[in-house]
A and B are shown apart, each in its own frame.
Chain A
């Protein structure tokens, strides 16, 4: 059991190592280095030399990688080009803001998805299922920037209920954040809920068709007791992994949503740093976002392992 967990963590670390290599090599191979892209037309003479010296671009690439990687392991991402400040200081408040947005969306999204998934599965092909499933298909396929724009148009402009964009500094307090994130949270959890509800639905349908549920029905177990005791635990367990993968996939959508609502989180930092050609920040963001992905999947794997006694004795599925 312990070995299995250690092995899983090891695989995650290997993935992160490869990500760091990919981003480093990617930035290295693409035309222009950090200095020429950042200085653009002024990239000659003394300014270029000074910049190269400052970023240490005059040493071989592998040495720079080792240097950078060992700093990252110690939690130091180096300096941002445009702000001339430590990347850690740039990231700190952004990470906090994105965490608030993500956790509120998840706290609303997951319970809602489970309830909707169960309803649609139990009333399969009846009116509740058809109605909810149609809405689900709409909200999971329409791009984030469209649903966010429509939300602003309808709720903020036509109805005038809430402010359309978030106007808060990146170091806003927790309370200031909460009152401003209603629309972004709705936009993100709408898509997330739709994806998960669909998975819960098919998972529940699969379990309902299994032999032991048929057996329970034949034995005369009361319907709701059967649903809660026999169906749900078995249906939700395999959904955990898929839900984790989906959350990670939605990270890209969070970036777009943050831009639409002008929300000062990690996502907007992605766009800002790429527009400013601030490659050190881009590298740091790639590592952080990949760590979130690996972390979420790791937690999901461990949760599945803890909750499923059968898997404890087995090798982890690939």
Chain B
């Protein structure tokens, strides 16, 4: 009974803390705008299949390149497909892939970083050299190689993106671990004879969690940028899947007389990326972390 009460209390505290952070984030206009945009996109991604007015893959020669009108709010594209339908559906794949990709990046990057920071020595040196080497390969080259050799299915893309974007988190998690490891409470936990696992779980993770979470949030927006760049270059999701990067690249050639089919996905993708960025920045500020002096690695 008593232990039950304590866990309930803990949970309530956690919820309250999360709510506090949200409130701090929303107290500044940039954070509020960011949160609103992200929320809007998430809701839109969830409900868009039910509210889409047309079939996203219905090709029709009679409705090619129509200008925006009452029937087709954002006009139609070169295959006669409704641009509004494809735009509101266009964020679904991108959001799903990058969200799960960021989770994977966060998990392996964070754990490996904490581990390296904790054990130090030779293992740490070797791992950090390999991470440095991976950092020096431009993301686009690595992603293109993986995708062109393994295919573009989401089962490949999610772990590939997760792996590649996790390498920067290793560094951050390692540095954060170094910061706490010399503190008194770790020393006393060691003196009490706690195991390494228990120290990682109970002492280190709670103290480096904030830094890693902020990295993960930033990673989400970069991953979205990487994912949509891949689609744009023709190495991402395959047609006729509605995807913003793909839509922009298809509509680009005709934009001198059908600009609407390129503007709609541009607005969709830019607003989502800006929204995630503003949210991540506000999140970092709410947790008291300054990201602006760091390089995007």
Interface of A, helix, strand, loop or mixed by DSSP? helix
Q: Is the CB of A35 closer than 8 A to any CB of chain B?
A: no
Task: Give the chain B neighbours of A15 by CB distance below 8 A.
Answer: 129, 132-133, 136
A143, B149: Cβ atoms closer than 8 Å: no
Residues on the B chain within 8 Å of A271, using CB: 144, 233
Partner of B138, one of A37, A203, A255, A259: A255
Residue of A37, A145, A153, A294 near B229 (CB, 8 A) is A145
Interface residue from B137, B221, B249, B296 paired with A23 (Cβ < 8 Å): B137
Instruction: Give Cα distance in the complex from A27 to B149, angstroms.
Output: 9
A273 to chain B, nearest CB (A): 9
Cβ contact within 8 Å between B144 and A290: no
Chain A residue nearest to B296 in the complex (CB):
A249
Q: How far is the CB of B127 from chain A (nearest CB, A)?
A: 11
Q: Which parts of A237-269 form the interface with B (CB within 8 Å)?
A: 238, 241-246, 248-249, 251-252, 255-256, 259-260
- The reply on A233 being an interface residue by CB < 8 A is no
Contact B294 A290 (CB under 8 A): no
Our pick among B145, B259, B270, B290 for the contact of A274 (Cβ within 8 Å) is: B145
Q: Is the CB of A199 within 8 A of B274?
A: no
Is there an interface contact between B229 and A143, defined as CB atoms closer than 8 Å? yes
Docked Cα-Cα span, A195 to B218, in Å, equals 14
The distance in angstroms between the C-alpha atoms of A202 and B289, with both chains bound, is: 13
Q: Is the CB of A143 within 8 A of B273?
A: yes
A74 to B3, CA, bound (A): 69
Residue B292, interface by CB 8 Å: yes
A257 to B140, CA, bound (A): 12
Check if B141 is an interface residue, CB within 8 A of chain A: yes
Chain A residue at smallest Cβ distance from B267: A146
In the assembled complex, the CB of B130 is this many whole angstroms from the nearest CB of chain A, namely: 6
Chain A interface residue count, CB cutoff 8 Å, equals 60
Total count of chain B residues near the partner, CB < 8 A: 48
Chain B residues with Cβ under 8 A from A149's Cβ? 248, 252, 255, 262, 266
B234 to chain A, nearest CB (A): 8
Residue A293 CB within 8 A of the other chain? yes
Min Cβ gap A118→B in Å is 15
How many angstroms between the C-alpha atoms of A203 and B225 in the bound complex? 26
Q: Name the contact of B232 in the complex, choosing from A19, A32, A141, A256 (C-beta under 8 A).
A: A256
| In contact, B137 and A290 (Cβ under 8 angstroms) | yes
The winner among B141, B144, B149, B262 for most chain A CB atoms within 10 A is: B141
Once A15-B129, A141-B277 are accepted as A-B contacts, the answer to whether A150 and B140 lie under 8 Å apart by CB is no
Q: Interface digits, A37-66 against B, CB 8 Å rule (1 contact, 0 not)?
A: 100000000000000000000000000000
Answer whether residue B19 sits at the interface, using C-beta atoms and an 8 A cutoff.
no
| A246-B296 contact given A143-B228, A255-B140, CB 8 Å threshold | yes
Let me know if A249 and B297 touch, CB within 8 A: yes
Asked whether B295 lies within 8 Å of A203 as measured between CB atoms, the reply is no
Those of A68-127 within 8 Å (CB) of chain B: none
Report if B47 contacts A (CB, 8 A): no
| B contacts, CB < 8 Å to A | 129-130, 132-141, 144-146, 148-150, 221, 225-226, 228-229, 232-233, 235, 245, 248-249, 252, 255-256, 259, 262, 266, 269-270, 273-274, 277-278, 290, 292-297
**Can you give 23 contacting A-B residue pairs, CB < 8 Å?**
A19-B136, A27-B145, A30-B146, A30-B149, A32-B149, A137-B278, A142-B270, A144-B229, A145-B229, A145-B245, A145-B249, A149-B255, A152-B255, A153-B259, A157-B255, A199-B293, A202-B290, A245-B295, A249-B295, A255-B138, A270-B140, A274-B144, A293-B135
3 cross-chain pairs, A with B, having the tightest CB-CB distances, nearest first: A245-B295, A18-B133, A252-B140
